[in-house]
Chains A and B, each alone.
Chain A
Amino acid sequence: SYVVTQPPSVSVAPGKTARITCGGNNIGSKSVHWYQQKPGQAPVVVIYYDSDRPSGIPERFSGSNSGNTATLTISRVEAGDEADYYCQVWDSSSDQIFGGGTKLTVL
């Protein structure tokens, strides 16, 4: 079965850039979606199909996907960006897969 790996935590100072990765074998050939989940709330999609951004999501959120790593980039990080972030991919052997999640801490 296909496995995706996220770092458990990422820390960043306000105003800096945060990069959260989602690693998997040849993940660049797959479509990756990213969700933000704040405590006690349902997840919200922030990036879909690698790099598309839903309406209402700030332009500070962007995504890329190549080789064995997909990356969610958050520019000019704000305190309100502190949350758990999950990647989601589809694989023929496992259907839908969520990553283990990354806790973003704003210092």
Chain B
Amino acid sequence: KAGVTQTPRYLIKTRGQQVTLSCSPISGHRSVSWYQQTPGQGLQFLFEYFSETQRNKGNFPGRFSGRQFSNSRSEMNVSTLELGDSALYLCASSFGAADTEAFFGQGTRLTVV
């Protein structure tokens, strides 16, 4: 079956703009988590959605938001982009929120100039 799909793969935006990233989980998976990855900082948790409800949120400013649709697809939005938002944004899906294995997409590489 198809893996986790993230679109777009690459994105260049200007400071102050906003951006929306998309994640389609593996078919049947209901839990979607988002992570920001920067060099030397590992994967930092943004938020997790399960059955259209945000269940967890990391320590990111309110400029970072997300949502999940009834088909489990998820989007995250970053408003008023800053240079420091340049990162690889990864999405991971699992069948249930309690699953021990998360399946990651290839990520969206966001560059803010």
**Binding between chains A and B:** no
